[in-house]
Structure 1
């Protein structure tokens, strides 16, 4: 196997690994890596950017895209992502790499995987075993690639000598399938299983059918094709492929297949998996992105403010946690692309999907303010005194009553000319850009998600505002996330409103949020 380490001449040895702790020597050498230095210097350089988030993971340098290989290894969370390396010697897309002890504070690491026999390291996932982490990805032009790592920060990878282990060339395939983005798991029979997410028939964005094919291996080197595990000819729209797959158990005897389509972006399926037959039967489809659709003309740029591709893992607490990337095409400003907040997926007793932010986010709260119960008079707007900011969390409980529409305006300018609108009407939760001077290339399409309240059920919102992104979790049944782009530094006010009838605010709590980036501490509370 080929060894690949990106700290020059440096392979991690046991002598500098202090059990679960990281030795100072290791951390020092990582901090001196040229890529890590470049990331640190660029983060400091772009600290004044109005749109840079304080507590979301954002690009350290250049453009980032799909999250990949999210996992928990030796107590630390690792997140990889599609990254165009700034090193001119590197041709093609790589896996960038960051890690965190708490899902909040992320530290940049050297680039993890660079192209070898492939022209780009495309998306894939990881599998954590007791003594190693297995990475599997799509090598552009060759097929599915595998590497393993055993060191505490996953800095060094041994490439499988049989790569590509699942070749994509037509003459080398075992059947009528396409080889694209993979994921991997291991079953009780001792075999490894991998998926190849792709499509059949027709064209992506128009009339194709998404499908995932399964493969099995005893040794990670030789893989046998098992046929399609799931073909979606009923639940999704024509033209949706099924790439960047993540496949994990989610509880109640169910599995969730989380993936991406180039037409509708992030989505997933909850259903029953038969491990003997290696077949998945979905109960339902859900959307992580509801609004913007890609067009053949616009391609990915036509959904560039949306919840994009996923990477998920089940952590040591049994939580099914997922990240999605959110694009913006702001690369000319030194950085482009962020990740959503980590969100937890789970099932209720009736197997309906529940969505909530990770509990760790509460550690970032400070300067608590509270608004007590009040009537929101029909067709009136109530500006909240003392509650304002560009990096905040708001928890609100609203009873719509007779109102046809209720909601909040956040990131509102002093003159009221620009704001981000969060509204609930006609059983739909919508987040919408109302920033008229923003760059129209950023494609400010609304993000509407279906949400039906039971009789007498209040609307329960957790709203995360972070400069250029707003994420709204509602009643643990919906999450709408959107990139937003205020153009005024004073766009920080918050107000409530009701239309067509009176509504009632039961309670509202608001907190400023700490920055997870040292160079942005000066923006806290502003």
Structure 2
């Protein structure tokens, strides 16, 4: 175990040595947050405070695989201009020496409280976990207070990712967990002062609840209210593919219901996947002064061909999704790109009414592989299929006949096209954000969302539209500016 000053000295040296390699990468992202170097994964401690949004993240700065991670730290006022602050938490204490794992933030008495999982392993690989606290008066410098919760009885050491919120006059915490029978669950705690916590049991109380046998581990829980409904977001591990569902290594999704704070039980409906693409995990939400529920997620999936990404040779790996506003309307959770992102649009918009005839295609020259937004509103669709081909690496297909929306991408593992798809009764609009090596597709104003990393031939700038029959839509295209990031 090394001291914090030594850790920070080593980090400064690594950033200086590897920054040039990262900046040379043609797949370096333009308007998605990525690590200065090394590996990024879960968003942590996402909070609005004193007019700024703080987004911490799991960070392994010294290499592009997992290990004893620290908390990196981005701050913004407008989601366009960002600054990368000094590392917030380092794995340098006895209770977090093998990693400052994921957690959350809350503001109390004009101070920022970070709750995180301290990971400890012995020489045989046996794990211990502690739910830890660090406090800051300025949101930049943090004073570690150590563990506030040790492992309760009835759980394995896979016990992590505390999310804290306040309901009425009581603070609550959910923790992702695994029971002794190796089934996933979510533990609940309550506190009056954020320091002394009382265990209330599992959020899932009913032994006949389908979530009692819904994978072997639940990660990254987040419980909040939206439009009068209680939503629980979490990441179940160990689900087998089922129809169009659960085709990534691990899943991210939510249930909707009613939380009984007296009993600590959540009565809920079925599980819904949040994102239907290849790369989405560990989402976390917060609210701001406007009352918006905003979400970030890691644009990746654990253990899914991570070391095959071409960015590895340039000493970095993974990124965040775009920020999304969550809205619960008509018994459905919608995800929409945050309104501030329109400020990325450069002034000259390309607009056209497009009419496709059977078996013909229309080619749109995209002047750059960096920063493009497309907005399509459909007037008519063919009975069979409509397709968009992007940079010879991504295909978007809608079959009206089968009521399927399909995302295909060229695999960065073997170069073959692979597929994700979902049921979609009707297609009315598409909003597509294309970065150098990331794409996010918002369907019907956020009814469904697909996120994916992709790696195209950098000289392939064209976007092709084709259709099996008569098709018409209005198209708007913007070139997007890059995020401005101060280090």
TM-score under structure 2 length normalisation: 0.83
Superposed CA offset, 1:228-249 (max 9, x none)? 1126942698425321112222
Aligned to 2:333: 353
CA RMSD of aligned residues (A): 2.9
CA contact (8 A) 2:404 2:423 kept: yes
Aligned equivalent of 1:482, options 449, 452, 477:
452
Q: Tell me whether 1:219 sits opposite 2:193 in the alignment.
A: yes
- CA distance 1:290–1:479, change in 2 (3 Å): closer
Q: 1:419 offset after TM fit, Å?
A: 3.0
Q: Distance in 2 between matches of 1:440 and 1:39?
A: 28
1:4-43 pair list within 5 angstroms: 35=11, 39=15, 42-43=18-19
- CA distance 1:419–1:367, change in 2 (3 Å): farther
Superposed CA offset, 1:417-441 (max 9, x none)? x23111212333222213xxx6417
Q: Distance in 2 between matches of 1:236 and 1:510?
A: 46
Q: 1:200 offset after TM fit, Å?
A: 3.2
Q: Tell me whether 1:149 sits opposite 2:124 in the alignment.
A: no
Q: Tell me whether 1:340 sits opposite 2:309 in the alignment.
A: no
Aligned to 1:307: 280
Superposed CA offset, 1:6-40 (max 9, x none)? 799xxxxxxxxxxxxxxxxxxxxxxx998578647
Q: Tell me whether 1:275 sits opposite 2:261 in the alignment.
A: yes
CA contact (8 A) 1:35 1:110 kept: no
CA contact (8 A) 2:385 2:397 kept: yes
Query: Would you say how many aligned residue pairs link Structure 1 and Structure 2?
Result: 445
Q: Distance in 2 between matches of 1:386 and 1:481?
A: 20
Q: Distance in 2 between matches of 1:107 and 1:518?
A: 5
Q: Distance in 2 between matches of 1:490 and 1:408?
A: 18
Q: 1:45 offset after TM fit, Å?
A: 4.0
Superposed CA offset, 1:294-342 (max 9, x none)? xxxxxxxxxxx51111121111111111111123544332111100001
Aligned to 2:232: 257
CA contact (8 A) 2:22 2:37 kept: no
Q: 1:277 offset after TM fit, Å?
A: 2.6
- CA distance 1:277–1:109, change in 2 (3 Å): same
Aligned to 1:504: 472
1:387-466 pair list within 5 angstroms: 389-411=369-391, 418-425=392-399, 426-434=402-410, 439-440=412-413, 445-453=418-426, 458-466=427-435
Q: 1:54 offset after TM fit, Å?
A: 0.4
- CA distance 1:42–1:511, change in 2 (3 Å): farther
Q: 1:261 offset after TM fit, Å?
A: 2.6
Superposed CA offset, 1:141-171 (max 9, x none)? 23211111111xx2222222xx322112xxx
CA contact (8 A) 2:223 2:232 kept: yes
Aligned to 1:24: none
CA contact (8 A) 1:240 1:261 kept: yes
Aligned to 1:290: 276
Aligned to 2:110: 131
Q: Distance in 2 between matches of 1:104 and 1:35?
A: 26
CA contact (8 A) 1:254 1:271 kept: yes
1:88-167 pair list within 5 angstroms: 92-115=68-91, 116-117=93-94, 118=96, 119-140=98-119, 141-151=128-138, 154-160=139-145, 163-167=146-150
Q: 1:196 offset after TM fit, Å?
A: 1.4
Q: Distance in 1 between matches of 2:25 and 2:103?
A: 31
Superposed CA offset, 1:104-161 (max 9, x none)? 222111111122122211111111235011111111123211111111xx2222222x
Q: Distance in 1 between matches of 2:379 and 2:466?
A: 12
Q: 1:66 offset after TM fit, Å?
A: 1.0
Q: Distance in 2 between matches of 1:106 and 1:256?
A: 29
Q: Tell me whether 1:266 sits opposite 2:252 in the alignment.
A: yes
